[in-house]
Amino acid sequence: MTDQYAVFGNPLGHTKSPQIHSSFAKKTNQDLEYTAIEASLNGFNTAIQKFRKAGGCGANITAPFKLEAFAMATDASERAKLAGAANTLLFDGERVFADMTDGVGLVNDLVKNLGISLTGKRILLVGAGGAARGAILPFINEKPSLLVLANRTPSKAHDIINACQHQDNIRACGLEELTEQSFDVVINATSASLTGQCPALPKSVFLEAEAAYELAYGKGLTPFLALAKNANVKVLADGVGMLVEQAAEAFSIWRNIRPETQEVIKTLKIPIE
């Protein structure tokens, strides 16, 4: 019997997840079917329970349901607990295991695909939403010299950092506090680029940067990446690699096998110009 998986979100017209996971399944000889289920804004729990009762084995969760997904879990990974959100669920009888693979997907894309070492580096992560929360622990595990979480509303960034106990190399601040600070890697985890906007970042953050990374994907040269390009940052990347790598992490949780990602990334990548 073919195992059933799905991605839940609203809206889902843009999702690449069925394409990605179908490719993974084909390459690894896994007998599974992966579909997209657009739940109503108030109907996530009903939709996911219906899927489980029909024999669903696991699910990916995207906006706006990641908090609800975490809340329904019977147990969760440390990175999901720190994020307070989940983008991956594994169903095993009454057990619902929750994980957050966005952060490890981002780190894997930076380190493995782009060749950017994070060890001993100064990292600026802009934004304090679910994606940023999910990235904190994977970044800490890479042992940077400094990790700064900056957000337009500083209190949200401080709340996240305060949850990270015994970490003296991570800080939180408002965007206005970044003046005259510079970093090795700058990551935009805000939604600004989805509306053609750019976080209010001083040019100084890019002056010594070797890489600028935009979590949004398929948008070409976003205002954030244009700002980095004008500062002569050599490596400019969007989130398509993160998208595929977080999917590979979820696939490995479900199937205990890690698919290769390079071919899928190449298929989905749009040049940044």
Q: Which residues are catalytic?
A: 66
| Residue 29 three-state SS | coil
> Nearest 5°: CA angle at 67, between 66 and 72?
100
| Residue 135 three-state SS | helix
Q: How far apart are CA 208 and CA 213, in angstroms?
A: 14
Amino acid 189 reads A
Burial track 98-121 (b if 16+ CB lie within 10 A, e otherwise): bbbbbbbbbbbbbbebeebebeeb
- CB of 123 within 8 A of CB of 144? yes
Residue 171 pairs with which residues in a beta bridge? 148
* Exposed / middle / buried, residue 211 (Cβ in 10 Å: 0-12, 13-18, 19+): buried
* Exposed / middle / buried, residue 247 (Cβ in 10 Å: 0-12, 13-18, 19+): buried
Tokens of 88: 């991956």
Could you tell me the CA-to-CA distances from 19 to 6, 60, 121 in Å, in that order?
12, 13, 35
- CB of 61 within 8 A of CB of 69? yes
Tokens of 8: 């839940």
